[in-house]
Structures are given as structure tokens and as C-alpha cells.
Amino acid sequence: QNTRATRKDTVSLFKLPSPNFVKTTSNDTMTMDPCIAYNGEGTEYREFSCVYPQLDPFYFSFEKKYDPVPVLLWMQANNWVPVAAVSIYAILCWRGKVWMKDHDR
């Protein structure tokens, strides 16, 4: 039985856009601001490469409006990975000296 709640469980799926998301132009028409984005937790942010268009050529398409929440949730659920990686590294450093002692160069 998995009782761990994910961050996605606490996010409202029907979040209304903030006033910054909709802009009113001089002729009273409403347009959507293309620089506003939401991450997986529902947090609103302004996309950096959209706010500063001169930096746009330095961004790949996958970097724009990147959502870090799925990776964060995976890292929280698999916190054994860095412990295993460091343990394997330490063992290989220790045993590597013994294994390579008689190795011809």
C-alpha cells in the first residue's frame, strides 16, 4: 500500500490564470501573454528566453518551458540512486587498485 502523496496530488487541476496571463490592449481586446507558463505544480512563471528575446538563439526548444516537477518527483521516489552510485564508485576505487596491481602497461 503506497500512502505517499505526490506533489501533483496537492495541485489544483483547475487553476485559473492570474491577471498577468491576460493582457488588455489599447482597443480593449484581450490577448494571451506567450511568456507566461505553468510548471507541474501549477506555479506561474515567465519564460526567461521569451522575456529576453536576444537570448532565444542560445536556448534549445526542449529548454523552453521545461517542467522540472516530474524529475523532482522521480528523484524523491528514488533517493537510493545517489547512495548506490557513490557506494559502487568507492568499491571500484578500492578494488581497482588490487585488480590493476599486476596489470601490464
Which string of DSSP letters, residue by residue, matches 15-75? PPPPTTTEEE-TTS-EEE-TTEEE-TT--EEE-HHHHSGGGGGGS-GGGTT---HHHHHHH
- 79 with 30, same domain: the answer is no
Alpha carbon distances (Å) from 17 to 12, 37, 97: 12, 10, 60
Longest dimension (CA), the chain: 82
Evaluate whether 41 touches 28 at the Cβ level (below 8 Å).
no
Query: What pLDDT score was predicted for residue 33?
Result: 83
Range of 59's domain? 1-67
Higher pLDDT residue, 11 or 41?
Answer: 41
**pLDDT band at residue 30 using 50, 70 and 90 as cut-offs:** low
pTM for the predicted model, two decimal places? 0.52
Tell me what pLDDT residue 12 has: 41
Q: Are residues 33 and 22 in the same domain?
A: yes
Give the span between the Cα atoms of 80 and 86, in whole angstroms.
10
Q: Please check whether residues 63 and 83 belong to one and the same domain.
A: no
Same domain, yes or no, for 24 and 36?
A: yes
- Tally of domains within the chain: 2
The verdict on 76 and 63 lying in the same domain is no
Clarify whether residues 47 and 78 are in a common domain: no
Task: Say whether both 14 and 61 belong to one domain.
Answer: yes
Residue 10 has pLDDT above 50, yes or no: no
Same domain for 43 and 82, yes or no, is: no
Residue 45 shares a structural domain with residue 11: yes
Contact between residue 46 and residue 35 where contact means Cβ atoms under 8 Å apart: yes
Alpha-carbon distance of 48 to 17, in angstroms, equals 19
Same domain, 8 and 32: yes
Say which residue, 16 or 23, is predicted with more confidence: 23
Tell me: the pLDDT tens digits for 59-87? 999 898 889 999 999 999 999 999 999 99
